[in-house]
Chain A
Amino acid sequence: MIAPTLAIACRLMTGAVAEWRVDPHATTQRVYFGNHSSHLDFIVIWCALPPRLRGLTRPVAGGDYWCQGRVRRFLADRVFHAVLIDRQHAGATAGLAVARESLQHIVDGLGRQHSLIVFPEGTRSASGEIGAFKSGLFHLARARPDVQLVPVYLENLNRILPKGEWLPVPMLSRVVFGAPLEPHAHEDKAAFLARARAALVALKASR
């Protein structure tokens, strides 16, 4: 009831049309990784999925934001089944133990049937430019090499609901699901992250 209503509202507000360059209906476990510029980002990706897959696809989101207030908490737990991570303590200062714990939490979130939505930049970009990726995606790919990594480019979301604004302007946006990253054996962290980011940048350039 809530999920379809939300999907329609999201569609009205963002006019998001999904372009698929990968089979949308495959039940393969996937990690959808997108560029991050708006609070609407994961909702837009989630709504663009076939309804059957929405229930199996969980966004990975910052607990500091989604645990505030009962509405957010309810949406995160009951509607999106979000995997909430503790961003405040997962920074560079916190040390390896917390980072490992977060990663384990995310890997657990995948389980045997779920897919995930992640934003490897770690935070929203104000300009809409795609920033450097944090290392989480690399470790996730290492931990679960069987999962497909699908780049998702989101266009115009930073104009619809930019960082720091709370009222949306209903411009038209685009969601492009690209081909999954090819697995490369023995690739180091920096090379992998650069390649993953390049896959997103390539989707931005494509029409």
Chain B
Amino acid sequence: MTAFHDRGWAALIAGVVALLVLASTVGWILSRRARSDAARATIDNLNARIRAWWVMAALFLGAITVGRTGAVAFFSLVSLLALREFITLAPTRAADHRALFWSFFIVTPLQYYFVWTSWYGLFSILIPVYVSVFLAIRTALAGDTEHFLQRTATNYWGLMICVYFVSHVPALMTLHIAGYEHQNVKLIAFFVLVVQLSDVLQYVWGKWLGTRRVAPSISPNKTWEGLVGGVLTATAIGTGLWWITPFSPGAAAAMACVLTLMGFAGGLIMAAIKRDRGVKDFGALIEGHGGVLDRIDSLCFAAPVFYHLVRFFYAS
């Protein structure tokens, strides 16, 4: 598609590769300098994370370069993997089996089908309206009232976070923005880059300077120093990327700032869920990072907000 001929797109990919090469080089130097066992463990984890970033970046950029179909395929798979991790931790009972089968194999494909066909009317209400009603009915018909409210609410929220929210990322491909035709793939890249870099930068600033915890009862790793440093630097990077978006530099700064704050909130909410369920990670699929849901927690809550901001202010 057109992404292959877009010079901005080529520059962006070159930038990501350069960033990964830099990260791998720094990781390699640190691993040669680590002396104590504790330092070595931290650096090994860091290098595992960097290796996983290479794979994730290749899969993500490769998929969205293909265009809308690639983006829909990639994020529907992400949704299924995330939903699987979420439901595994949910307090489901045997009576939920059929409703869960529907969630994985009917609702998720249908949601992404509506994204793929740009059917905004159904894409935006399928899960909040029809599925929320249907799932409650299906679970009630199964007849088991033990923890009924908790079970239906958890299953529904699992679909909202893992499927509905995440599907707003590929849905960016379907927005019509005057003067930005056939370039929406860069909007997805802007969104994912800013949110994920904000995560990484919060981690880096937190490791470097972090002392005061934002929410000690939820996560020991989130500090004010990490948050402020991460938000400021990621917003600066987002502003510097204004040329790949339909935004002015000022608007790009505002968008990036909103994204980093929503990303932080998403991480905090998902950390609270993990704390509630008594686990450290949602899964173990991505080496060094944990599960898929651990990696995309910040994207989940930022995606619908970003989608609707762009739709409201820019789409025709």
A-contact 0/1 string along B245-256, CB 8 Å cutoff: 000000000000
Expressed in whole angstroms, the Cα–Cα distance for A15 and B81 within the complex equals 10
The total of chain A residues at the interface (CB under 8 A) is: 14
Expressed in whole angstroms, the Cα–Cα distance for A168 and B84 within the complex equals 12
B-contact 0/1 string along A141-160, CB 8 Å cutoff: 00000000000000010110
In the assembled complex, how far is the CB of residue B96 from the closest CB belonging to chain A, in whole angstroms? 9
In the assembled complex, how far is the CB of residue B244 from the closest CB belonging to chain A, in whole angstroms? 35
Q: Is B207 an interface residue when CB atoms closer than 8 A count as contact?
A: no
CB-based contact B101/A169 at 8 Å: yes
CB-based contact A17/B101 at 8 Å: no
Q: Which residue of B lies closest to A169 (CB)?
A: B100
Residues of B within 8 A of A171 (CB): 84, 87-88
CB-based contact B104/A170 at 8 Å: yes
A172-B283 in contact given A15-B84, A156-B88, A162-B94 (Cβ < 8 Å): yes
The main secondary structure of chain B at its interface with chain A is helix
Residues of B within 8 A of A169 (CB): 87, 97, 100-101, 104
Of A15, A162, A172, the residue contacting B97 (CB under 8 A) is: A162
Q: Which residue of B lies closest to A15 (CB)?
A: B84
Q: Is B92 an interface residue when CB atoms closer than 8 A count as contact?
A: yes
CB-based contact A165/B88 at 8 Å: no
Residues of A within 8 A of B87 (CB): 169, 171
Of A17, A158, A162, A172, the residue contacting B84 (CB under 8 A) is: A172
Q: Which residue of B lies closest to A158 (CB)?
A: B94
A167-B101 in contact given A156-B88, A172-B84 (Cβ < 8 Å): yes
CB-based contact B84/A170 at 8 Å: yes
A172-B88 in contact given A17-B284, A167-B101 (Cβ < 8 Å): yes
Interface residues of A (CB under 8 A from B): 15, 17, 126, 156, 158-159, 162, 165, 167-172
- Please, could you name 7 A-B residue pairs with CB atoms under 8 Å apart, sorted by A? A158-B94, A159-B92, A168-B101, A170-B80, A170-B84, A171-B84, A172-B283
Interface residues of B (CB under 8 A from A): 80, 84-85, 87-88, 92, 94, 97-98, 100-101, 104-105, 283-284
Q: Besides A126-B94, A158-B94, A172-B88, 10 other CB < 8 A contacts?
A: A156-B88, A159-B92, A159-B97, A162-B97, A165-B98, A167-B105, A169-B97, A169-B101, A170-B80, A172-B85
Closest 5 CB pairs of A and B: A172-B88, A169-B100, A171-B88, A162-B94, A167-B101
